[in-house]
Homo-oligomer: A and B are copies of this chain.
């Protein structure tokens, strides 16, 4: 652990203010995950929060340099993480006991650049079938700007073994 702590000290010493901001966020959320506040490393690193029930789901992340691409705007793939998570969470809320939903198809239209402090994806169900579901996901800003619209197809599989089960 000595080597890791030395490396951390060295990184801090070489950090820009932006680096310090990113590291501060990362460690805060990593520690929160250790305390059970996040279920995955990915959701912790993105500081992801969810508000969800059987009818809708909203997933939000802060719009920081951590998710920016080389031209300093949110990476389209991270918006895909957000939309897929919002739709997947809602699909799972609608699966029968012992089943879960896996994404089979995802289509995203990128409409404009997210420039508010939070980015939130809102999902709703379009088709709730026994074996397949279709959902819609949208990223809207507080100021009304529409950032992205998406649709996703989900397949309902037994929870036990997602890897084998996904070979539908």
Which single member of B72, B81, B111 contacts A77 (CB below 8 Å)? B81
Chain A, residues 100-130, CB within 8 Å of chain B (1/0): the string is 1011111111111101000000000011011
Cα of A162 to Cα of B30 in the assembled complex, Å: 32
How many copies of this protein are present in the complex?
A: 4
The answer on a CB contact under 8 Å between A77 and B82 is yes
- CB neighbours of A162 from chain B (8 A): 71-73, 113
- With A4-B24, A14-B34, A80-B81 already in contact, the answer to whether A149 and B126 are too (CB < 8 A) is yes
A62 in the interface (beta carbon within 8 A): no
Contact of A110 with B115 at beta-carbon distance under 8 Å, contacts A4-B27, A68-B40, A132-B155 already known: no
Residues of A within 8 A of B (CB): 1, 4-5, 7-12, 14-15, 19-20, 22-24, 26-28, 30-31, 34, 39-42, 45, 65-73, 75-78, 80-85, 88, 100, 102-113, 115, 126-127, 129-132, 134, 136, 146, 149, 151, 153, 155, 159, 162-163, 166-168
